[in-house]
Structure 1
Amino acid sequence: MLTSFSRWIGSRKRERALREHAIGDVLWEQTLAGLPFLDWLDAPGRARLRELSSLFLSQKQFSTAHELVLTDEICVAIAAQAALPVLNLGLEFYRGWVGVIVYPGEFVIRKTVEDEDGVVHEVVQDASGEAWEGGPVLLSWEDVKLSDGHGAYNVVIHEFAHKIDMLAGDADGRPPLIRRLHPDLSPREWEDIFDNAYDRFCRRVDGIPERRWTQFAETSLIDPYAADHPSEFFAVCSEALFVTPREFESEYPELYRLLARYYRQDPARVLATPFTPPA
């Protein structure tokens, strides 16, 4: 009886959230037009993404910095991209925090870094996005608008992939495996495929001569930054999975299949029969 009542309460909350945070038709179409990499979604997929985006808006608190005016355009564009990775996983993968802070452009972050000798340094650097464990996601609106599908870059998917990774503890490139969602994916298989792919990528990056570094960075599907840490490799590859899926599958087929199984989405397969919007 209590279970039935709890489900009823949950359903009422969901319905109220969808009403109060409904995304209008015009704004939704404008949002999709600005995110052409979403074209692989069919009509039911887009409808589910729209609903999940509304629920995301109901659960998260948006704010801005440096006098950026918060608009519905900003909120919905970020919500749609944040909802995409968890479209078949659920918003519970974003539990435990509420804040999304949007800056006009790049912002300064300060970190403490321990070097190989154990000496701790304070580092100041510019950033386009940052995900804090148990805290907010920080995003540059200028960089959010760069997610046009022409390259694998997507700061929203990147930072929210970090949030998923952090559910299992420290961000380490080993996101949580949930039995009901990933019944055929074991931690051992994840480590074997992911760790090997990461090691190969790091060796590839390390082998690039300094004179060719700029060329490699400009032409590589996976940003060389991904070699910094397994968590960055996971986040950057998550960008590629959703933004440039066919290219990612072609260049890293085994890794593509692993991430597709994890996110329970297969955008490269869907693109084999392109979605045609109704007239």
Structure 2
Amino acid sequence: MLTSLTRWFDSRKRERALRRHAIPDALWARTLANLPFLDWLDDAGRARLRDMSSLFLAQKQFSTAHDLELTDEICVAVAAQAALPVLNLGLDFYRGWVGVVIYPGEFVIRKTVEDEDGVVHEIVQDASGEAWEGGPVLLSWEDVRMGSGGDAYNVVIHEFAHKIDMLGGEADGRPPLFKRLHPDLKPQEWADVFDHAYDRFCRRVDGISDRRWQQFAETSLIDPYAADHPSEFFAVCSEALFVTPRPFEAAYPELYRLLARYYRQDPAQVFDPPLAPEID
């Protein structure tokens, strides 16, 4: 009886959120037109993405910096791209924080890093996005608009992949596995496939000469930045999975299949039989 009552209240709460944060048809159509990498979704998938985007807007608090005007266009563009990775996982993967801060362009961040010798350094750098453990996601609106699918770059998917990774603690390239969502995906399999791909990519990056570096950076499907840390490799590969899925599957088939099974989505549409059924 209590479970049924809880579900009834949850359903009513969801319905109210969908009504209150309903996305107008014209705005949703413009959003989809600006995100051609969503074309692989069928009508039912797009409808679910629209609902999840509305629920994301209901749960998160948007703000801007440097006098950028906060518009519905900005909020819906970010919400749609943030909702995509968790479309078949659920918004609970973004629990524990509420803030999304949008800057007009790149912004300066200050952080402390510890080198291999244990020495702590204070660094200042420009950033297009940043995800804080237990805190907000910071995004450059200029870069959000760049993530339309021309190449494997999408700052929203990148930073929200970090948030998924952080669900189990510090981002380390090993996002949490749940039996209900990943019944056939074991930690050892993740380590075998992901760690091998990461190590191989790092060796490839390390082997690039200074003379060939610029060419490699411009032509590599995966940004060389992914070699900085397993968490960056996970985030960058998540971008490739959703934005350029077919080239990614062709170049990294095992890694593509691993991430597709994790996110329970198949943007390149190569799985037979299909992935596990969608969840509510």
TM-score (norm 2): 0.96
- For residue 117 of structure 1, report the CA deviation from its aligned partner: 1.9
The 5 A counterparts of 1:228-267 are 228-267=228-267
SS in 2 for 1:130: strand
Question: What is the correspondence of 1:37-76 to structure 2 with a 5 Å cutoff?
Answer: 37-76=37-76
Q: Which amino acid aligns with 1:199?
A: D
Match of residue 274 from structure 1: none
Amino acid at match of 1:36: P
**1:71-105 deviation digits (Å, cap 9, x = unpaired):** 00000000000000000000000000000000000
Question: Which aligned segments of 4 or more residues in structure 1 are displaced greater than 3 angstroms?
Answer: none
Structure-to-structure mapping, 1:6-17, within 5 angstroms: 6-17=6-17
Provide structure 1 residue ranges, at least 5 long, that are not aligned to the other structure. Answer: 272-279
Q: 1:40-119 counterparts in 2 under 5 A?
A: 40-119=40-119
- Secondary structure of the structure 2 residue equivalent to 1:167: helix
The CA distance in 2 between the partners of 1:192 and 1:204, in whole Å, is 18
Rate the CA distance shift 1:68–1:270 in 2: closer, same or farther, 3 A: farther
Q: Are the equivalent residues in 2 in contact too, given 1:40–1:270 (CA < 8 A)?
A: no
| Corresponding letter in the other structure for 1:74 | I
Partner of 2:164: 164
Match of 1:277?
none
Matches within 5 A, 1:103-142: 103-142=103-142
Whether 2:40 is the aligned partner of 1:34: answer no
Partner amino acid, structure 2, of 1:62: F
In the alignment, the residues of structure 2 paired with residue 245 and residue 232 of structure 1 have an alpha-carbon distance, to the nearest angstrom, of: 18
- Partner of 1:2 in structure 2? 2
* Number of aligned positions between the proteins: 272
Displacement of 1:270 in angstroms is 6.9
AA paired with 2:73? E
Identity level (%): 83
Q: Which residue of 2 aligns with 1:276?
A: none
CA deviation string 1:183-237 (max 9, x = no partner): 0000000000000000000000000001100000000000000000000000000
Q: TM-score, normalising length from structure 1?
A: 0.96
CA contact (8 A) 1:201 1:227 kept: yes
Give the Cα–Cα distance (whole angstroms) in 2 for the partners of residues 202 and 92 of structure 1.
32
In structure 2, the CA distance between the partners of 1:270 and 1:78, relative to structure 1 (3 Å rule), is farther
The unaligned stretches of length 5 or more in structure 2 are 272-280
| 1:132-169 Cα distance to aligned partner (Å, 9 max, x none) | 00000000000000012110000000000000000011
Please give the per-residue CA displacement for 1:43-67, whole angstroms capped at 9, x wherever unaligned.
1100000000000000000000000
1: CA distance between counterparts of 2:183 and 2:118? 41
